[in-house]
């Protein structure tokens, strides 16, 4: 339905008065939605509304504050509003409210009219936001914060106010890490359990480089094809404004200058069978500053302060490298902390008993915990175990991943929900996932309860639960024998 079909009903009471609606600076989607509902409910047409971004209150006319019913908008309008609000154009709110007003007053299919000037302009703004989001997803680079093993910081300068729209993408990609994204308009922070937003950052607050970048640059240079150098395409896909944030771009000028001579050398060289490129060496260079063996990793863990003060010592994994089965528990308990060995307290003794009944021997398996230090609460002379938070589990996850890489088991048994969280990055109910599992790792998985769970059960329920636990361990043994065979 075109513009000619539009009808503008008489405004409601006060509709002839000018309204100045203020929203917070940046992309105030919630504020705009609330204001649009109130304005529509009050019958105030677009030409009687001005929009500003300073957080002030309405300046003129009858108050349009308070609650208002949701708007009944056609499919697509809400998505367009969500995408356009982050645009820098100061007229975006006025344009969006004009769209909503027309849609609610006789032009329900307005978005289908691509030739309409308002629709055309808003669609161009939507595409600009989509491009900006794509560039941020592609060209933002996290670098390890100096002196912190598991915190990463990135600096980025988007064209529009897209930080809040882009941040969930990085939560999904890097859920197990603690990171911050700094921009000139604001910052986003993920601690493993929640996403928060803060004030603007500065470029100098983000690390300029870290130990992995030399390896990544070597890999980029090794894959650069001089015969396919196309500067226009390179700038189109990787605009120069982002080059300061990308480690590989430092190599581009030299690669471009030498492209012609390298191409000629390739042509003059006698034909050869192609050699399959193996990037493992370049990728390995990224980890030159990381532990090279389980012993080196354990030395790093020993030197590290506990995330939560109070633990006597780090409790390291125990068992043979190359063990077919690795058991991952939650964290050391009181006895483990005192003795410096995993699974030696009451829960560990119960595990050893169940393993024996299932035909598994402690010296043949690898035993470790997701968290390496004992977290507790003192009650008199007793130290009472406290469950680690998701952020604490995430803090230790890098160590656990490297540990299992060095041990290289074929099957990893997650004992309890905390172990599952550490191995998958997801909170999964044990009752639903109990049994064989895929951890998207180079080993198979199996999920069962933690033996401490059995100790907490009432006496009348313990026998059945213990029997089910032993049966789980028998299944673990059978699956391990199948994998080893």
Of the three residues 134, 169, 187, the one that is the final residue of a domain is: 134
322 lies in the same domain as 440:
yes
Quote the percentage of the chain above a pLDDT of 90: 54
Range 1-30 burial, b when 16+ CB lie within 10 A, else e: eeeeeeeeeeeeeebeeebebbbeebbbbe
pLDDT value for 2: 38
Residue range(s) defining the domain that contains residue 227: 213-286
347 lies in the same domain as 422:
yes
83 lies in the same domain as 217:
no
438 lies in the same domain as 406:
yes
299 lies in the same domain as 402:
yes
Angle, helices 117-139 vs 92-104, to 10°: value is: 130
Per mean pLDDT, which of 6-10, 95-99, 213-217 is the most reliable?
95-99
480 lies in the same domain as 350:
yes
pLDDT digits 0-9 by tens, 397-408:
989 999 999 999
Of the three residues 118, 134, 150, the one that is the final residue of a domain is: 134
Quick one: average pLDDT of 18-28? Answer: 90
Q: Is the model's pLDDT at 14 over the cut of 50?
A: no
pTM over 0.85: no
Give Cα 467 distance to the centre of its chain.
39
Quick one: average pLDDT of 120-130? Answer: 95
pLDDT value for 110: 94
The residues that bridge with 436 in the sheet, in sequence order, are 446
Given a contact cutoff of 8 angstroms between Cβ atoms, the answer to whether 49 and 113 are in contact is no
336 lies in the same domain as 467:
yes
Of the three residues 286, 305, 328, the one that is the final residue of a domain is: 286
Question: Considering only CA atoms, which of 319, 316, 317, 325 is closest in space to residue 413?
Answer: 325
196 lies in the same domain as 276:
no
Question: Considering only CA atoms, which of 151, 53, 164, 44 is closest in space to residue 101?
Answer: 44
254 lies in the same domain as 170:
no
pLDDT digits 0-9 by tens, 140-156:
888 888 766 568 898 99
pLDDT value for 235: 60
User: Domain of 448: which CATH number?
Assistant: 3.40.470.10
Quick one: which H or E segment has residue 99? helix 92-104
421 lies in the same domain as 322:
yes
Q: Is the model's pLDDT at 184 over the cut of 80?
A: yes
Q: Which residue has the tokens 């603690």?
A: 178
SS3 108: coil
29 lies in the same domain as 118:
yes
Number of domains the chain is built from: 4
Q: What is the CB-side half-sphere exposure of residue 1 using CA atoms within 13 A?
A: 13
pLDDT value for 215: 53
What's the mean pLDDT when you consider all of the chain? 83
Quick one: average pLDDT of 351-376? Answer: 95
| Distance from C-alpha of 478 to C-alpha of 476, rounded to nearest angstrom | 5
Q: Which tokens is 416 given?
A: 């309890």
């Amino acid at each position: 339905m075109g513009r000619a079909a539009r009808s503008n009903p008489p405004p409601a009471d006060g509709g002839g008065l000018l309204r100045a609606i203020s929203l917070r600076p940046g992309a105030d989607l919630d504020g705009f939605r609330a204001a649009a509902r109130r304005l529509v409910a009050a019958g105030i047409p677009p030409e009687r509304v001005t929009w500003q971004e300073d957080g002030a209150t309405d300046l003129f006319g009858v108050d349009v504050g308070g609650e208002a019913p949701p708007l009944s908008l056609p499919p697509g309008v809400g998505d367009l509003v969500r995408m356009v609000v982050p645009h820098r154009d100061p007229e975006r709110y006025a344009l969006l409210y004009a769209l909503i007003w027309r849609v609610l007053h006789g032009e329900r299919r307005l978005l289908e009219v691509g030739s309409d000037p308002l629709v055309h302009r808003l669609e161009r703004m939507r595409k600009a936001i989509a491009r900006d989001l794509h560039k941020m997803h592609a060209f933002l680079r996290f670098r390890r914060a100096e002196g912190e093993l598991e915190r990463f910081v990135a600096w980025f300068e988007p064209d529009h106010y897209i930080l809040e729209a882009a941040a969930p993408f990085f939560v999904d990609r890097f859920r197990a890490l603690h990171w911050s994204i700094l921009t000139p308009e604001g910052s986003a922070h993920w601690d493993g359990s929640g996403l928060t937003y803060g004030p603007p950052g500065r470029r100098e607050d983000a690390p300029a480089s870290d130990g992995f970048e030399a390896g990544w640059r070597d890999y980029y240079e090794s894959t650069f094809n001089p015969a396919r150098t196309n500067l226009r395409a390179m700038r189109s896909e990787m605009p120069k404004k982002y080059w300061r944030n990308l480690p590989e771009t430092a190599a581009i000028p030299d690669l471009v200058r030498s492209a012609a001579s390298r191409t000629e050398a390739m042509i003059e060289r006698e034909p050869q069978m192609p050699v399959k490129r193996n990037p493992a060496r370049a990728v390995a260079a990224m980890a030159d500053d990381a532990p090279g063996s389980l012993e080196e990793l354990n030395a790093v863990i020993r030197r590290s302060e506990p995330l939560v003060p109070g633990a006597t010592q780090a409790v390291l994994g125990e068992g043979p490298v190359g063990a077919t089965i690795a058991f991952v528990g939650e964290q050391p308990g009181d006895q483990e902390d005192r003795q410096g060995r995993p699974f030696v307290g009451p829960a560990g003794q119960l595990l050893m008993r169940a393993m024996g009944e299932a035909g598994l021997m402690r010296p043949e398996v690898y035993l470790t915990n997701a968290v390496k230090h004992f977290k507790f609460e003192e009650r008199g002379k007793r130290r009472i175990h406290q469950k680690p938070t998701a952020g604490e589990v995430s803090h230790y996850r890098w160590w656990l991943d490297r540990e299992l890489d060095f041990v290289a088991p074929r099957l990893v048994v997650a004992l309890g929900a905390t172990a599952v969280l550490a191995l998958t990055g997801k909170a999964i109910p044990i009752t639903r996932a109990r049994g064989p599992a895929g951890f998207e790792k180079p080993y198979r998985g199996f999920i069962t309860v933690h033996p401490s769970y059995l100790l907490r059960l009432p006496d009348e329920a313990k026998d059945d639960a213990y029997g089910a636990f032993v049966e789980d361990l028998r299944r673990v043994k059978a699956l391990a024998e199948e994998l080893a065979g």
